[in-house]
Amino acid sequence: MTELNKSSYTKNLQLAQIFVFNAIPLLGVLYLGWSAKLLILAYFIETIIAILFHAVRLWYVNFRWGNEPETNERAAELAKANKGQNMPASWLPFFMLSVFGFFCFVQLYILGGFANQAFPEGIFTSMYRAATGELAWVVLSFVFLQLSRFFMEVIRGEYRNTPSEALFFQPFRRILTQQLTVILGGFIILLAGANSYVFVLVLVTIAIDLFFFFIGNKKLKAMITKNDPEKEKQYEELKKMM
């Protein structure tokens, strides 16, 4: 298989994963009788699993390629750009879990506060019961998909010569998607509670995922930035967080 074919295969696989990830909750609503509140919990569980796997990814990238000359050179460039403020790579998985874990904890607490009628047992108890009960297969599916993605990265040698510091903000995409989904979903629980709105939520998450998938496309960049230098600079900064 040529490099061009490998690249095309990889992109197609990543594109398929976007739709598979987002199809699981939708199929649950359509065929398994899930409610809107279970969809909200499913997105939270998927985000937590993604964060845990990203911590493993950071550790692996540093363990596997952290001492490569090119990796050290790029890490030095990052440190220089950040005025020498880079954290030791071996600490990044724990720091990332702390930062994004705290973010998820606060968001769960807030959601449980304004949606207490939907989660009378409390948001954390409800999530635990859902993850070990009605959403158990969903949790296993999310774990399998993340595991398959990670193994594909290992097999392809992805992130070779990429400092783990450069990957730190990669979960930003999932956090952004989750935040919009949960906020919209919370209002739906409060105002309507109708499962028909699930389609809107899934479309929002797919749209965000597709934006980040095609973020390197020159036509998309030109359409969004209008070739404005300042907007192009902000766009490039956003790309670094994907």
- Judge whether residue 194 has pLDDT over 60: no
Residue 5 domain-assigned (yes or no): no
Mean pLDDT of 13-29: 76
Sign, Cα dihedral of 37, 38, 42, 44: positive
Cα separation, 92 vs 146, in Å, equals 20
Q: Of the given ranges (8-22, 41-55, 128-142), which has the lowest mean pLDDT?
A: 8-22
Phi–psi pair at 19, nearest 5 degrees: -75, -35
Residue 6 domain-assigned (yes or no): no
Residue 3 domain-assigned (yes or no): no
CA distances from 160 to 38, 39, 43, 154, 155 (A): 38, 36, 30, 9, 11
Residue 1 domain-assigned (yes or no): no
Cα separation, 15 vs 35, in Å, equals 27
Residues in the chain, how many? 242
- Judge whether residue 129 has pLDDT over 70: yes
Helix crossing, 92-114 with 172-191: angle to 10°?
Answer: 10
What is the percentage of the chain residues whose pLDDT exceeds 90?
Answer: 3
Structural domain containing residue 84:
13-240
Residue 7 domain-assigned (yes or no): no
Output the DSSP codes for 61-114.
Answer: HHHHHTT-HHHHHHHHHHHHHTTT-PPPGGGHHHHHHHHHHHHHHHHHHHHHHH
Model pLDDT, residue 55: 92
Number of domains into which the chain is organized: 1
Q: Of the given ranges (71-75, 137-141, 158-162, 198-202), which has the lowest mean pLDDT?
A: 198-202
The owner of tokens 């392809």 is 156
Structure tokens at 205: 């998450």
* pTM, entire model: 0.73
Model pLDDT, residue 56: 92
Residue 177 domain-assigned (yes or no): yes
Better pLDDT: 133 or 176: 133
Residue 89 domain-assigned (yes or no): yes
In angstroms, what is the C-alpha Rg of the chain?
19
Cα separation, 138 vs 64, in Å, equals 31
Residue 36 domain-assigned (yes or no): yes
